[in-house]
Chain A
Amino acid sequence: MEITPAHYALLSAALFIIGVVGVLVRRNIIIIFMSIELILNAVNINLVANARHLENLVGQVFVVFVIAVAAAEAAVGLGILLAFFRNKETVNIDEMNVMRW
């Protein structure tokens, strides 16, 4: 049985939804960040698979950019997390409501 881009697309979709569920369900904000990394990885798999399928390396170039954005996001997000934790002593996202009316 040949492995087609459809297989990779399904893998990507499944991983994506796993990340989404992690974002929606968990209350620990560190795990939510990690779920976001999973989502990004799902996107990357899709891009790389289609790059090979279409024999066009632009997809891989975009994966490089996605990794750069993921690194930036992780750095800033974790910086905010640290700053917040110093003030509130919590990483529970349900307790992060200081900006609510």
Chain B
Amino acid sequence: MKKSVEFIIEKLVLLSGIASIVFVILIFVFLLKEGLSLFGETNLFSFLFGKNWYPISDPPQFGILPLILGSLLVTLGAIVIAVPLGIAAAVYVAEVAPVWLRDILKSGIELLAAIPSIVLGFIGIVTLAPFLKNVFHLPSGLTALAGSIMLAFMALPTIVSIIEDAIVSVPKNYREGSLALGATRWQTIYRVILPAASSGILAAIMLGIGRVIGETMAVLMITGNAAVLPTSILQPVRTLTATIAAEMGEAVSGSGHYYSLFAIGIILFIFSFIINLLADFFLHRKRA
């Protein structure tokens, strides 16, 4: 009796373990099958580098270059904003803040991560967009910059907590060695501690990018949704994720449009995969 219970439990656990892998494989296979069907209608080159995204005109044009550039532009903007802010915040939390404030700040940062992205997007539409419109005298505040700022705030919790971990795990004796040579606290931080934590910082940036590039709802709401080649950060753009979210509902199943959205999914998958791989590489190097 006892033995059979053991057996059942063991197999159930095994099954659960395998299930997660099987699901990933199934999803990937489905994505590939649907996505690759597009290439009967168009070729890889005009898909990746075509400048026009008119999936339902006649004949349809499936160029996703504007979408890729839209995603890259918004992501790059977000990282440019989030990384310096994240490093500064992490340094403050880990090295400067008194203990009581440190705890409050850390919970605050975690709370920021807990805000649903749709709420951030909504707040962005009603506050950030009008603000940008007035500051830059734009016809509309719904631009790549608005998306970048919003996403920077979404990526910040990830970035801050990973960098903070990296800083805290820098051995105490580096700090002492530097201070004992007459270095000030700031000299110690930027000459010894940050270089010593550099792997963690790079990993944080990669994971931040991963978070940003996969984000959908807030971006869909706030970037203005114009699938044109972006020439400036003050223009409306559309990202890869937003395209899928906005058009999946109206794409006719089995049409070129439908397949092209899956093909976009493959591109996104490749992006995230590379970013995660890089993050893993940097985190691993830290331990080595």
A binds B: no
Q: A: which residues have CB within 8 A of B? A: none
